[in-house]
Amino acid sequence: MISRGQSHAQKRASASTITPLKTENTVTAMPKTIPEATPEAAKTVFTKEEMLEDYDQLWDDLYAYYPYLPVLEESFDIHLEAFRQDNRQTLITRIKDVDGFAVLLTDTLYQMNNLGHLQFVTPDTYYTFYNLANDDIYEKYPDLFNLSQLYRDTFLNEQTEAAYQYLSNADGSPAEQDTTLSDLPGVITRYFPEYSTAYFYFATFDSPWLVPRDRNVITDYLASLEDRPVTNIIIDITGNRGGSGDYWTNNIVTPLLDGDYEADFYTYFKNSPIADETLTNLFERGFRPERIQDIPDSVHVPAFVQEYGFDSYVNEKISFPLDSDSQHSETAATTAKRWVLINNGSFSAADALAHFCKDSGWATLVGTNTAGDGIGTASIFTRLENTGLLIRMNIGIGANADGTMNAVVGTAPDIYSLKGETPLDTCLRMIGEEQGAGK
């Protein structure tokens, strides 16, 4: 059984403009709803044969839907059949219960570099999605979420609920407690007077609940500087492993707009019913893949498209039009030069921001290549039939403008850091040089 869904890290408008979310900045905790008891029809004890069936199903699903298998063999020197058999033998000889099976799945996919968001859905991740799918929360915060019923059903499945209850607590009843937003990293701000520079460090976009919490961080901090000059603004996303794509569109780009910006996000597929259904059913504004032969002549079609037999693509075009009110105000937010700091810890939604900067020119990228995986239209979640455990994977390959695989090489900076420099060191050096040249 295939259950399809898309994370908030990947949720972007298709060929449309970005509209800031309307949810008020009053959320203080992430609501948590935990099932009261294990569903009677579900189970938490499995035979070795049942776990082997699930393991074999995992590989069947990978060969059917996951496009990165040849990449793992070609670029990462993983001999897939031997690798599959070795881990299967580990399951036969060492794994006794679903806890051990979950560890084996986690380790197996980690050894595959979690490429293309390939990962075992851990209990923590499961309960994040479970709560986003819960009716009470979904209805209370509709502007934060745009989930299809198909996606929500994945995480509300009874067997899946039972398995994750068991994994999160041996007695099947995980502790009920709300995670307050103060438990999550805040935005670090700083002013460099010698460079007339405002600095913002965003450690994570990890939860959609952070979107309303941090909505006014940039605007409020710039206002707090009062008459101090701000000619440069640094956005630091080094080490940021991503999360909600709505975070950077609403909290970083929108408050710093000084014009119209647009970026293309190209993802390539092999046409199939699952690709079509994933793309058209996930969101109310669903969209369909286009044929490769219809791609604009200006687009550099990657070599892997022909090599892997891909015949379809999707371009998720992100557009930020400047609203009429902003056109009449000249503040630090609209006049300062923007810099975005990246490194090999910038992943997923953080890489998506980097790609947006690269493609639109909204900011100058400084540092080293990101970890990538910010271009990719949709993930599916495969539910293992017996245990109900979930596996996530991308079904398309996102490409940079030069045709390279984004998940493999990441997004390159406009300015590379010198050996021994941090991206911040490099950025301040560049600002100093520009200011010196202007004197």
Give me the residue spans of the domains in the chain: 2-20+41-173, 184-377+395-437
Q: At residue 12, what is the residue type?
A: R
CA distance 386 to 97: 13
CATH of domain 2-20+41-173: 1.20.920
| 3-state class (DSSP) for residue 39 | coil
CA distance 170 to 152: 25
Could you list the pLDDT tens digit for every one of the 439 residues in the chain?
Answer: 444 333 333 333 344 455 444 444 444 444 455 555 555 668 999 999 999 999 999 999 999 999 999 999 999 999 999 999 999 999 999 999 999 999 999 999 999 999 999 999 999 889 878 877 776 655 655 555 555 666 677 888 999 999 999 998 754 444 444 555 566 789 999 999 999 999 999 999 987 778 889 999 999 999 999 999 999 999 999 999 998 898 999 999 999 999 999 999 999 988 777 777 766 655 545 567 789 999 999 999 999 999 999 999 988 889 998 775 544 467 888 899 999 999 999 999 999 999 999 999 999 999 999 999 999 766 788 899 999 999 999 999 999 999 999 999 999 999 999 999 999 999 999 999 998 865 5
- Which residue carries 């490194």 as its tokens? 343
Name the residue among 49, 51, 147 with its Cα closest to residue 98. Answer: 51
Fold of 184-377+395-437: 2-enoyl-CoA Hydratase; Chain A, domain 1 (3.90.226)
Cβ atoms of residues 238 and 341 within 8 Å: yes
Q: Do domains 2-20+41-173 and 184-377+395-437 have the same CATH topology?
A: no
pTM check: above 0.85: yes
Beta strands, E only, 283-347: 290-291, 312-315, 318-320, 337-342
DSSP 199-257: EEE---B--TTHHHHTTTHHHHHHHHTTTS---EEEEE-TT---B-HHHHIIIIIGGG-
Rg (the chain; Cα; Å): 23
| 3-state class (DSSP) for residue 341 | strand
DSSP 120: E
